[in-house]
Structure 1
């Protein structure tokens, strides 16, 4: 075989990016940990940065050069400053700050390192018995989910829902498993006659209250503490909104929460579901990796095809199903709206 004539028919760039992806990620994680981008709201030299955060000058200088090569900061006249991308998403105080979300990604690295073990032995949390809901739904996690929403998904949801007739005339809405409450707050802002209630675990709704206060919506957005798998979440709702929560049930256990939702709605009321859905097997890498990660952790979770979920809703007596695709590469979501009452189609 003549080595000079030996050439692969495919480019290894994608494999190379995957194999080395942890390097750029670790640079970003460390920059968030040291608040580098907030520090660089005013341009600084490497020596000034090193002195302020108490780190080795030589490594700090190369660290800043790496951030510049990644186009998160820029260098000029011996000083480093943020790019527009960093100013928008990585500086504390920005309405689009992503620091908590990035910290959650960083904390997930340990779970990913257990993938070889999980392949042989199954998900890790099946062997440990922590208070899973307490551990998962801490403040950092809630803040990270809020950050993930304000960068795009929340606005796509609101745009699709604001002109739905049942929503426009709704007086009472439940945001079930609503976490940060930004959906409920947004819905109340676009429907001035709406009273919204965010139902979630007791530690979570304490964080929800902070968001409600931040947006001055205390009069029209309330919280209710409980576990929707165990506790009553009321009735008489015109709309029940559920986002990325009921799919944490297996195929066997999802029936009960759907039945509770149906019973809690007024006749003619609607369920609005925002979840990741497979388009008949055409799943994104985002979705596939998320499913794998949850399985490594040992959490029950199932992503339905659109048809599977619509059929399940019909089985639970919902009717007049509407589907709105709001998919992006980072967020393969679909909004499914279904009515309580007789099918009019």
Structure 2
């Protein structure tokens, strides 16, 4: 005889208070706690309290650090007064500012911007209007970024860290053997081009983006010592089109726009490719049944908040748009986590 499943509010309460856990992590990143612990591991709560100049009680400090421990972001030996705290493997690699693998830039932006504007999701759904700084007459997100070098660097570093696994996966999973040239549209710091060139020595790549990204991309290329096979080109692909290449890549670019502009972007890529050329869009492609890739759907809501009319899409959507432009076939290549490469062949 089967036991009846007992109703439980646990999952509802956990999700409903999920922003508490998020703010605990974002606060630790804002305090640069993980960077401090990378330099001075095995610290007491009182030592951390002093280091961060916290004015709360010792009990508040224990609660904060033990939340981070329970959430899996810190390791702890001992309890309360005797407790000693250290980074986990993941926080030591990805949340230590001294590491090139640091992805905290995107979390810093979440704390500074995303935290506030996501509180307007209900209004965004009711009105269908942008909910970020531009809502009250401020600058649109990309104007804000391009006008603030420090904020732009934090954003680019964070997005690069988030996407690095996808770029490496693409460079190793996709068969580049029949191609020689690649242009990465919206190439940011140039890391996608660098990963493709690094893992495929016959490939020559161009990272293409607006002028404010040029110096950052050149700096990254020099760091990897790959200036012979990875070049930087500045321009606006809506106005200038794209350089001719065997492959065009777009990493988290297409989702920024409404459907007509998405199709226009795919057309721009099509025009830059020869017969047999390939467009590769790296996105959080939503599963066609819209049940599994919840992160992709939340990213789509983020596009509502940030752009008003941008959205993430399913592979069926991509296939329809690509066929409308003239691509002969499409396929989907899973990368890491919720991300995939939507591929169209001319």
TM-score greater than 0.5 by the shorter chain: yes
Question: Superposition pairs for residues 215-294 of structure 1, below 5 Å?
Answer: 215-235=224-244, 237-283=245-291, 284-294=293-303
The aligned residue for residue 191 of structure 1 is 200
Which residue does 1:34 correspond to in 2? 31
Task: Determine if the alignment matches structure 1 residue 300 to structure 2 residue 305.
Answer: no
Residue number in structure 2 paired with 1:143 = 157
Report how far residue 127 of structure 1 moved: 6.0
> In the TM superposition, what whole-angstrom CA distance separates every residue of 1:2-46 from its partner, at most 9, and x where no partner exists?
xxxxxx942111111112212222221111111111212322223
- State the secondary structure of the residue aligned to 1:266: coil
| Worse-matched range after superposition: 43-52 or 167-176 | 43-52
Which whole-Å deviations, capped at 9, do the CAs of 1:95-129 have from their partners, x for residues lacking one?
43221122233231111111233344332346636
Q: Aligned equivalents of 2:314 and 2:21: distance in 1?
A: 34
Q: Deviations over 1:151-199 (max 9, x none)?
A: x3233322321xx2xx224222101111232111011112222221111
Distance 2:246 2:18 in 1: 46
- The farther-off stretch of 77-86 and 199-208 is 77-86
Q: What corresponds to 1:71 in structure 2? A: 72
Normalization by structure 2: what TM-score?
Answer: 0.84
Aligned residues: 325
Structure 1 length-normalised TM? 0.84
- Gaps of at least 5 residues in structure 1 are 1-7, 341-345
The within-5 A match list for 1:101-180 is 101-106=106-111, 107-123=113-129, 124=131, 125=134, 128=137, 130-136=139-145, 138-150=152-164, 152-161=165-174, 164=175, 167-180=176-189
* CA contact 1:198–1:223 (8 Å) conserved in 2: yes
Structure 2 unaligned blocks of 5 or more? 147-151
Flag the 1:223–1:94 CA change in 2: closer, same or farther, 3 A: same
SS in 2 for 1:224: strand
User: Aligned match of 1:206 in 204, 215, 219?
Assistant: 215
Distance 1:101 1:117, change over 3 A: same
Secondary structure of 2:12's counterpart equals helix
Contact between 1:188 and 1:195, CA under 8 Å: does it hold in 2?
Answer: yes
Runs ≥4 in structure 1, deviation > 6 angstroms?
A: none
Q: Structure 1 285/53 Cα, relative in aligned 2: closer, same or farther at 3 Å?
A: same
Decide whether the 8 Å contact of 1:274 with 1:334 is kept in 2. yes
Determine the structure 1 residue equivalent to 2:13. Answer: 16
Secondary structure of 1:229's counterpart equals helix
Q: Is the contact between residue 257 and residue 310 of structure 2 (CA under 8 Å) also seen in structure 1?
A: yes
3-state DSSP of counterpart to 1:252 = helix
Structure-2 change in CA distance of 1:279 and 1:72 (3 Å): closer
Q: Is 2:167–2:196's contact at 8 Å kept on the other side of the alignment?
A: no
Please say if residues 257 and 307 of structure 2, whose CA atoms lie closer than 8 Å, have aligned partners that are also in contact.
Answer: no
Deviations 1:255-283 (A, max 9, x none): 32222222212333222222233332324
Q: Take 1:210 and 1:256, find their aligned partners in 2: how far apart are those partners?
A: 31
Q: Provide the residue aligned with 1:25 in structure 2.
A: 22
Q: Distance in 2 between matches of 1:88 and 1:118?
A: 36
- Cα 1:72–1:261 change in 2 (3 A) is closer
The aligned residue for residue 338 of structure 1 is 344
**C-alpha RMSD of the superposition:** 2.5
Residues 24/334 of structure 1: CA separation in 2 closer, same or farther (3 Å cut) = closer
